[in-house]
């Protein structure tokens, strides 16, 4: 069964002028793929669209057996919580602490404020040296700490799909090898992975085929 299917998809990015037209894509449970494209903007637009951050001009986005409705943002939230995205368009909420950012989705869907971080979140925070920074706001953190907090938030969602776009700046940083091991473990359970990366070792380690974006 396909976890994600894009049918006759058309996208246009006003900022870059990039235009993708009438293309199809699907990824089934247990599949992992890397993304290749001549135009870097096209590749980033594709991963952003897959994360439901870039809306289509036309076409259908099918997530499991649901056709997504982009007319109402609220309709997308149930699916966004199941899609992990780490890439240029991912960000933390600046007026919340790191801890609040990591709990935000759970607080919304569980309608509770008396929440604590799960053990798997705490493990990643320890690995990325974020534990002592949880009560700071993103504006007080350096770029790498912000990136580490974002990927911690995304990989610890109740995932059905994980998208990783340009993780190069974290390669070699404390916690990255631990993170990759966690991604491998999730992929082994059948969670599909999409990777856009220039690091061939990481591509070979995490993916089993390449999809070319026109």
Q: Which domain holds residue 77?
A: 2-212
Beta-carbon contacts of residue 140 (< 8 Å; ≥ 6 apart):
none
- pLDDT number for residue 105: 82
What pairs with residue 164 in β-bridges? 86, 195
**pLDDT exceeding 70 applies to what percent of the chain?**
96
- pLDDT number for residue 114: 64
More confident residue, 145 or 214: 145
Rounded Cα gap, residues 200 and 122, in angstroms: 30
13-22, 113-122, 203-212: least confidently modelled range:
113-122
Structure tokens belonging to residue 164: 């990783």
pTM: 0.94
For strands 83-86 and 161-165, give the pairing.
parallel
Q: Where are the alpha helices (DSSP H) in 111-175?
A: 119-127, 143-155
Over residues 51-67, mean pLDDT:
96
Q: Are 25 and 194 in contact (CB under 8 A)?
A: no
CATH of the domain at 30: 3.40.50.300
Rounded Cα gap, residues 109 and 4, in angstroms: 23
3 state SS of 162: strand
Into how many domains does the chain fold?
1
Q: Are 180 and 206 in contact (CB under 8 A)?
A: yes
pLDDT mean across residues, the chain: 93
Residue 134 pLDDT more than 90? yes
Per-residue model confidence as pLDDT tens digits over 151-187: 999 999 999 999 999 999 899 999 999 999 999 999 9
Residue 71 pLDDT more than 80? yes
């Amino acid at each position: 069964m396909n976890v994600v299917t894009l049918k006759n998809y058309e996208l246009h990015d006003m900022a870059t002028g990039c235009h993708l037209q009438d293309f199809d894509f699907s990824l089934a449970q247990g599949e992992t793929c890397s993304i290749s494209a001549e135009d870097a903007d096209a590749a980033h637009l594709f991963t952003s669209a897959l994360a439901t951050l870039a809306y289509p001009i036309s076409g259908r986005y099918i997530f499991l057996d649901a056709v997504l409705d982009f007319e109402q943002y609220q309709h997308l939230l149930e699916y966004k919580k199941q899609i992990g995205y780490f890439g240029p368009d991912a960000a933390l909420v600046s007026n919340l602490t790191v801890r609040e950012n990591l709990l935000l989705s759970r607080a919304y869907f569980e309608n509770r404020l008396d929440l604590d971080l799960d053990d798997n979140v705490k493990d990643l925070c320890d690995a990325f040296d974020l534990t002592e920074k949880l009560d700071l706001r993103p504006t007080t953190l350096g770029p790498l700490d912000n990136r580490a907090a974002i990927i911690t938030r995304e990989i610890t969602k109740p995932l059905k799909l994980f998208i990783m776009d340009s993780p190069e700046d974290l390669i070699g940083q404390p916690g990255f090898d631990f993170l990759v091991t966690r991604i491998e473990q999730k992929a082994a359970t059948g969670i599909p992975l999409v990777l856009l990366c220039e690091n061939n070792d990481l591509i070979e380690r995490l993916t089993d085929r390449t999809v070319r974006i026109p």
